[in-house]
């Protein structure tokens, strides 16, 4: 013989606005910002240039990406050339 367990009584209804009146907070997608640092020839630019949707921020003295692009070794991506640290931070 099996016995059924008694189910707990239902919870009382909450007072106030119905559940449909509440709006869920929408999460805004914020893309990650990554800084790659390393010695020359390690492949930082090649790595970054092959990431989907990337934008490179380069100082005006940096020519590595343009050299690789001219040789057809990296894909064309959005790029920003900055002349000062303030411009780099603003970008």
Residue-wise pLDDT for 28-44, tens only, equals: 777 788 888 888 888 98
Structure token pair of residue 56: 């490179």
How far apart CA 40 and CA 67 sit, in angstroms, is 14
Dihedral through CA 68, CA 53, CA 87, CA 59, nearest 10? Answer: -10
Mean pLDDT of 56-83: 91
Poorest-pLDDT segment among 18-27, 33-42, 61-70:
18-27
Mean pLDDT of the chain: 80
Q: How far is CA 89 from CA 2, 55, 57, 59, 80, in A?
A: 71, 14, 10, 11, 12
């Amino acid at each position: 013989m099996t016995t059924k367990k008694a189910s707990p009584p239902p919870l009382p209804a909450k007072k106030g606005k119905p559940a449909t009146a509440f709006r869920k907070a929408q999460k805004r997608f914020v893309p990650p910002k990554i800084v790659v640092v390393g010695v020359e020839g390690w492949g930082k630019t090649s790595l970054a240039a092959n990431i989907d949707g990337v934008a490179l921020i380069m100082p005006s003295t940096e020519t590595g990406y343009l050299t690789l692009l001219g040789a057809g070794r990296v894909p064309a991506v959005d790029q920003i050339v900055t002349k000062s640290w303030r411009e780099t931070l603003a970008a």
